[in-house]
Amino acid sequence: MLVAACADGGRAGQLWPRPSAPGASPPPTPPPLPRLLLLLLLPAVLLGCAGAQYSSDLCSWKGSGLTHEAHKKEVEQVYLRCSAGSVEWMYPTGALIVNLRPNTFSPSRHLTVCIKPFRDSSGANIYLEKTGELRLLVRDGDSEPSRVQCFSLEQGGLFVEATPQQDISRRATGFQYELMNGRQALDLHVLTAPCRPCSDTEVLLAVCTSDFVVRGSIQDVIHEPERQESVIHLRVSRLYRQKSRVFQPAPEGNGHWQGHVTTLLECGVRPGHGDFLFTGHMHFGEAQLGCAPRFSDFQRMYRDAEERGLNPCEIGTE
C-alpha cells in the first residue's frame, strides 16, 4: 500500500512503500503506475500536504497589518463561510475586503448581516461597500463602538480601511458577525429601533419565533453607561421557551426562574410593577430583549387574533 510522505524528511508528493513489520517478508513490488494516473494524483497529494501545513477557520479570521510593507496600501481579501464568527485585525494597515459567503440554501437577498465591533476596536473605519460605493457603518474613535449594525447581504459587503496612525502598536480592529435569514430577522427592530413599542402583529410573531418567551416581572435594572446597555434582571413565573439556558431555577424554588436580558441604555428601562411577556433573541452570546408588552395587553392581543383565526401559533395565556 502506498502512502504520501508529507512528514519531515519526506518530499511533498513523494510516494513511499509502507515499511514491513520486523521479521516479515518484504511486500511484493507493486507494478508502476501509469504516467497519466501519476499526473492526476500529484496535485491532490501536493494539496493534501499544503493543508497539513496551513489551517484555515472558515468562520473567523485573525491577521496582522505588519505583513504589509509600510509604503504600500494593500487590500487583502478575507473569505468567511459560516453563519457566525469574528474578524480581528491587529496593527491595521491598508484595507480588508470581508466576503461573507455562507453555506446556505437561502438566496443572499434573504440574508441579513449584523456586526458588533469589539469594545476596544480602533484603528480602522468599517464600511458597507457595493460596486465601489461606500457607506460608513463604524467610524474609528466612535463613542459607541459596540453598537450593532445590520444590513441585507444583497446591499453589499464589508470594507475595513485602516486610518492613518502615528503609532499602530496599540491598535486592533475587530468585530463579531451573525447572518440571519428572513424569519430570524423579524426581530431586527430590536437592533435597529430597540426602543420602539411592538405592534400587535410583531408581538404575536415574536411569541412564535423568539429564542426566549417568558412571563415575569422586573426585579432590578442596572445601567452600564460604558457599554451603553441596561441589564434587566427578571423573575419568571412561567417559562414558555428558551435557548442557551438564559433563565435558571430560582434558589427559593416555588417553580420560579431568574435571569437577565439586555437592551440599549437609551431606552431608559426602569423597574416597574406587574407582569410582562418578555421575548427576545440571542445575539453575540447575549439575550437581547425584543417585544415586552404587559401581560394583560398580550392576553387582549392573543384573544383578538384567536377570534379572527389569525394566531400564528398557540400559547397559554392564563
pLDDT of residue 233: 96
Res. 45: pLDDT tops 60:
no
Per-residue pLDDT of 60-79, as tens digits, reads 999 988 775 554 568 899 99
- Confidence band, pLDDT 50/70/90 cuts, at residue 19: very low
Q: Going edge to edge, which strands form the sheet with 124-130? A: 75-80, 95-100, 157-162, 124-130, 133-138
- Cβ-contact 233, 289 below 8 angstroms: no
% of the chain surpassing 70 pLDDT:
73
Distance CA 285, CA 281 (A): 10
pLDDT of residue 216: 95
pLDDT of residue 239: 94
% of the chain surpassing 90 pLDDT:
37
Backbone angles phi, psi at 127, to 5 degrees: -120, 155
Domain ranges of the chain: 60-187, 200-308
Query: Which residues are within 8 A (CB) of 254 and not within 5 positions of it... i.e. 6 or more apart?
Result: none
Provide the 3-class DSSP secondary structure of residue 49: helix
pLDDT of residue 207: 93
Higher pLDDT, 211 or 72: 211
Distance CA 80, CA 74 (A): 19
Res. 50: pLDDT tops 80:
no
Res. 6: pLDDT tops 50:
no
Higher pLDDT, 11 or 303: 303
Please give the single-letter amino acid code of residue 188: L
pLDDT of residue 1: 38
Mean pLDDT of 104-121: 78
Mean pLDDT of 30-51: 40
pLDDT of residue 13: 33
Res. 249: pLDDT tops 60:
yes
Among 92-96, 162-166, 188-192, 273-277, name the one with the lowest average pLDDT. Answer: 188-192
Domain 60-187 has CATH 2.60.120.290: yes
pLDDT of residue 245: 87
Res. 145: pLDDT tops 50:
yes
The CATH class, in words, for 200-308 is mainly beta
Longest CA pairwise span in the chain (Å): 86
Mean pLDDT of 109-133: 87
Res. 205: pLDDT tops 70:
yes
Mean pLDDT of 8-14: 35
pLDDT of residue 214: 96
Res. 134: pLDDT tops 90:
yes
- Cβ-contact 314, 241 below 8 angstroms: no
Distance CA 107, CA 246 (A): 31
**pTM for the predicted model, two decimal places:** 0.60
H/E stretch holding 300: helix 295-307
Per-residue pLDDT of 77-94, as tens digits, reads 999 989 889 999 998 989
